[in-house]
Structure 1
Amino acid sequence: MLPKVTIIIPFYNDKYVPIAIQSALDQTYPNTEVIVVDDGSTEEVDKIQPYMEQITYIRKENGGTATALNYGIQHSTGEYIAWLSSDDMFLPHKIQVQMDYMLANNAPVSFSNYHLMDKDNEVFIPWCGKRFSPTNNLREVYETFLTVNPVNGCTIVIRKDVLDTTGAFNPGFLYTHDYDLWFRILLSGFRMHYIDQPLIHFRSHEGSGTSRFQPQIIHEMNTIETHYRPILEEYLQNHPTFY
């Protein structure tokens, strides 16, 4: 049997959550589970009700996205973990494409490109992410982290046992917990493989955290970069060859 992939959807007062859930349920990959972690929502919870028989629904006190993701990971039964924000959408073949690649290449982590969509589900910037060469891109990914974060968190699929080494998401970063984890993954020696396909629709809208909390996000990013980039630069100097 193919390995199980757990898709974790953190949810907090988000009207778009039915679109996210349906896209997770519509995956062509045959062995998935969908966990929706309600992070203490006070609104929009009724929108989850029609899906209760098809998902695992867990409610917890509000603590932020990192705590919701970690809670979902703790309750997951899959060997691989994927994360889907409640206002974004997986394309139907998303998990299939990444698992085919990861199993064929023994990849512990993979990420992909993505399309940017608006509040009405219309794509307005295709291929929004940084593109890497289709072959021999492992060192290129590492080097890119010295200047920018090239990874959209909802494109990630990660083998669950990687987190036994790196630890899970850091709740101390309310908005950039994923960025912190990517550095820890890289510095632990786990290669992050890029797949040159757009596999999700990432939503840009006025109510998103990315739009509302820019100053806090920039502050957290600066903290992470100041700490990790010198360490990563030294790591690259000591690891001149990537296979």
Structure 2
Amino acid sequence: MLPKVTIIIPFFNDKYVPIAIQSALDQTYPNIEVIVVDDGSTQEVDKIQPYLDHITYLRKENGGTATALNHGIEHATGEYVAWLSSDDMFLPHKIQAQMDYMIASNSSVSFSNYHLMDKDNQVFIPWCGKRFNPYNNAKEVYESFRVENPVNGCTTLIRKDIFDKVGVFNPGFLYTHDYDMWFRILLNGFHMHYIDQALIQFRSHEESGTSRFQPQILHEMKTIEEHYRPILHDYLEKYAVF
């Protein structure tokens, strides 16, 4: 049997959640489970009701996206974990494309490119992410983290046992817990492999956290970069991982 993939959807008062859930259920990869983690929502919960027979629904007190992801990871039964924000959507072949690549290359972490869509699900910037050489790009990815974060968290697919080695998402970072995680993955010697396909649609809208909390996001990013980039520099110089 093919390895199981758990798709975790953190949810908090988001009207777009049915689109996210349906895109997870519509995956062409046959062995998936979908976990929706309700992070103490007070609105839009009724939109999940039609899907309850097809998903695992977990409700917890509000604690932020990192805590919701960690709760989902704790309950995941898959060998691999994907994360889908409740206002974004996976393209139907997202999981299949990554599993094909990761099994063939024996890799533990992969990510892809993505399209930017608006509030009406219309793509207005295709291939929005940074692109790398389609082959042997692990070194490029490491080097990229010296100056930027090239990874959209919802494009990732990660072997679940990675979290046993690097730890789970840090709830101290309300908005950039993913950025912190990527550094920990890289510094533990796990290459993040880029797949040159656009496999999700990432939503840009006025209600998104990315739009509403820019000052906080920038502050957290600065904290992470000041801590990890010198360590990354020394790691790359010392171990010459490539």
Query: TM over 0.5, yes or no?
Result: yes
Task: Give the equivalent residue in structure 2 for 1:194.
Answer: 194
The reply on whether 1:176 has 2:176 as its aligned counterpart is yes
- Number of matched residues? 242
Task: Give the equivalent residue in structure 2 for 1:93.
Answer: 93
Quote the Cα distance in structure 1 between the aligned partners of 2:37 and 2:230: 35
Quote the Cα distance in structure 2 between the aligned partners of 1:214 and 1:140: 27
Q: Deviations over 1:35-75 (max 9, x none)?
A: 00000000000000000000000000000000000000000
CA RMSD of aligned residues (A): 0.5
Task: Give the equivalent residue in structure 1 for 2:83.
Answer: 83
Q: Deviations over 1:95-136 (max 9, x none)?
A: 000000000001000000000000000000000000000112
The reply on whether 1:63 has 2:48 as its aligned counterpart is no
Quote the Cα distance in structure 2 between the aligned partners of 1:57 and 1:160: 19
Task: Give the equivalent residue in structure 1 for 2:26.
Answer: 26
User: 2:188 is aligned with what amino acid?
Assistant: S
User: 1:15 is aligned with what amino acid?
Assistant: K
Task: Give the equivalent residue in structure 2 for 1:223.
Answer: 223
Task: Give the equivalent residue in structure 2 for 1:44.
Answer: 44
User: 2:111 is aligned with what amino acid?
Assistant: F
The reply on whether 1:130 has 2:127 as its aligned counterpart is no
Q: CA deviation at 1:241?
A: 4.4
Structure 2 unaligned blocks of 5 or more: none
Quote the Cα distance in structure 2 between the aligned partners of 1:151 and 1:68: 20
Q: What is the TM-score normalised by the length of structure 1?
A: 0.99
Quote the Cα distance in structure 1 between the aligned partners of 2:68 and 2:120: 26
| Secondary structure in structure 2 of the residue aligned to 1:28 | coil
Q: Deviations over 1:127-182 (max 9, x none)?
A: 00000001121111000000000000000000000110000100000000000000
Quote the Cα distance in structure 2 between the aligned partners of 1:114 and 1:222: 24
Range that drifts further, 150-159 or 131-140: 131-140
| Secondary structure in structure 1 of the residue aligned to 2:202 | strand
Quote the Cα distance in structure 2 between the aligned partners of 1:132 and 1:49: 40
Q: CA deviation at 1:240?
A: 2.5
Task: Give the equivalent residue in structure 2 for 1:118.
Answer: 118
Q: CA deviation at 1:29?
A: 0.3
Q: What is the TM-score normalised by the length of structure 2?
A: 0.99
Structure 1 unaligned blocks of 5 or more: none
